[in-house]
A and B are shown apart, each in its own frame.
Chain A
């Protein structure tokens, strides 16, 4: 199993540009989520999904959109990037009702 995969690994955007961070998992996990990690702030939940077709907001959802059309994929969209969205983004997944998360390797995003 590849586990949780994320692309790209690094990305630089200009303010106002849009992009999609890709996340995929091959473990048939029902639950998928996106976190952002900033220095001194820990891991903050952006959006999550408990299954295909179901998404919900986390702690810091503003400026981000998600969709879940398949069990395997959970892309994160930035519609109009802002410097405040400079961060490291992690996708994570788990079985339903399991509190144990499997994290991807992360995407380092810089918005100038």
Chain B
């Protein structure tokens, strides 16, 4: 059973455009929702994270939107740049440590110049 469903699998955006990646979950006990960014040949790195007590979190050009009632959250990349080309993973965790972290299957983002 896939606990976190991520879409789309791949995404192509023009430079300056908005990239949107969506994730949905079923388990209402999840209380931490991070996004990881992975460049080719590198390990994933934490990009931004949100807890369900807020509906939006913004860090620079990256924004997480969270809809608790719909059990969905999304990553928005404003003014997308070629340097943003990477694979993005959403994840969710239940009350505690990393052993409870479950990942989506990833979205490969390509930003064309």
Q: Once the chains bind, are B98 and A98 in contact (CB under 8 Å)?
A: yes
* A100 interface neighbour in B41, B43, B46, B106, Cβ under 8 Å: B46
Residues of chain B within 8 A (CB-CB) of A74 are: none
Complex Cα distance A34/B103, Å? 14
Complex Cα distance A55/B44, Å? 23
Complex Cα distance A106/B32, Å? 25
Residues of chain A within 8 A (CB-CB) of B60 are: none
Complex Cα distance A80/B38, Å? 30
Q: Once the chains bind, are B97 and A43 in contact (CB under 8 Å)?
A: no
Tell me which residues from 55 to 85 in chain A have a Cβ below 8 Å from any Cβ of chain B. Answer: 56, 58
* B99 interface neighbour in A31, A90, A103, A105, Cβ under 8 Å: A31
Q: Once the chains bind, are B103 and A42 in contact (CB under 8 Å)?
A: yes
Residues of chain B within 8 A (CB-CB) of A90 are: 43-44
B contacts, CB < 8 Å to A: 6, 9, 32, 34, 36, 41-46, 49, 89, 93, 96-101, 103-106
Could you list 12 A-B pairs, sorted by A, with CB under 8 Å? A41-B105, A42-B89, A43-B44, A43-B103, A43-B106, A92-B98, A98-B97, A99-B93, A99-B97, A101-B36, A101-B46, A105-B42
